[in-house]
Amino acid sequence: IIHEVGTTRMGDDPKSSVVNSNCQAHDCKNVFVVDAGSFVSQADKNPTWTILALSWRTSEYIVDQLKQKNI
């Protein structure tokens, strides 16, 4: 398989991951990773629909956070 994913792993623990469940960097609240970087592993299946779904969800989260003036 050549499905490039990972490197900015998603997770709750900043010690073992780069972004949280909203694809938001633990270390910098204004940085969001909306590609395949947040994948924690490569499942057998094609990743692109999941990349798009996570990006869409993150976009809505960004709008929400902007309205609340959190970012």
Helix boundaries (H) for 6-46: none
Q: Which stretch binds ligand FAD (CB under 6 A): 15-23, 24-32, 44-52, 55-63?
A: 44-52
Scored b (16 or more CB within 10 A) or e, 8-47 reads: bbbeeeeeebbbbebbbbeeeeeebbbebbbbeeeeeeeb
Nearer to ligand FAD, 27 or 44 (CB): 44
3 binds ligand FAD (CB under 6 A): yes
5 binds ligand FAD (CB under 6 A): yes
Binding site for ligand FAD (CB under 6 A): 2-5, 35-37, 46-48, 51
